Amino acid sequence: MRGLSSTRRDHGPGKLTNWPASGRTLRLVRARLRQEVHYLQAPPGYNSRTGLGPSIADMDLGTYIRASPGDNIIVGGTEPECDVLEWIADPDESNLAVTAESFARQATRAARRLSTLRVPTTPKGVSGVYDVTEDWQPIYDRTSLPGFYVAVGTSGNQFKNAPLVGRLMATLVERVEAGHDHDKNPVKVPGDYTQNVINLGAFFSNARAQLENVGNGDGIVLCARSERAASNESQCT
């Protein structure tokens, strides 16, 4: 998508995240969070000649590590409580360059887990912006504008769930457009393999009560939790 044109003005892709849900009351506030991920040469033996190495989520160190082609690894953060999160007002004004400070922090944490990892002096990586809700869970819902649906607030953790999200949204659109009242009787979608029921009204509604904060990186969460997923005693650098 390159943008959206209206009778008032044109909107670039970054501006679309600021659009309200067409007048429908939102209980959850969405905000923009700047993030960085960094590229490093993989330590010896992490990747093999026939395949990529493992993916690691280290909640104690507040980092995740995954293999990347070219005998590299990608390192990112899990928003540990010792980190100062960089909230921004306008996603179009976000600094797209990686910073030496963030690179040093993430690379050092990865090196604590991978003892043979070499940390270069020159930062390398990418920067972007997350669309974040208060409880870090996405909004997959209809709006008060007929035919207008939203899949927003994915908080950086829903890319891997994209095929399922497409199915959830397709089911929601089909049911509502056929006359189903999603507000009074939320659409439920059974999983293909487990047959576990995903209640779109309880967990992904834009009018839901806020779920207990479970932090980033957990993917789709199908129940509220009473404790933060990440340890409060993170060993942060």
pLDDT tens-place string over residues 25-59? 556 677 899 999 999 999 999 998 889 999 999 99
Within the chain, all domains assigned CATH 3.30.9.10 are found at 31-132
Contact call for residues 79 and 94 (beta carbons, < 8 A): no
Longest dimension (CA), the chain: 59
Phi and psi of 111, rounded to 5°?
Answer: -70, -25
Query: Which runs of consecutive H residues, i.e. helices, occur in 70-223?
Result: 100-113, 162-177, 200-203
Position 169 confidence tier, pLDDT thresholds 50, 70, 90: very high
pLDDT tens-digit readout, 8-30: 455 454 444 444 444 445 566 77
Task: Extract the tokens encoding 229.
Answer: 């997923």
Looking at domain 31-132, its CATH class is alpha beta
With left for phi above 0 and alpha for psi between -120 and 50, is residue 179 left, alpha or beta? left
- The DSSP call for residue 128 is E
Query: Which runs of consecutive H residues, i.e. helices, occur in the chain?
Result: 100-113, 162-177, 200-203
- Residue predicted with more confidence, 14 or 86: 86
pLDDT tens-digit readout, 177-225: 999 999 889 999 998 889 899 999 877 887 776 555 444 444 333 333 3
- Residue predicted with more confidence, 154 or 4: 154
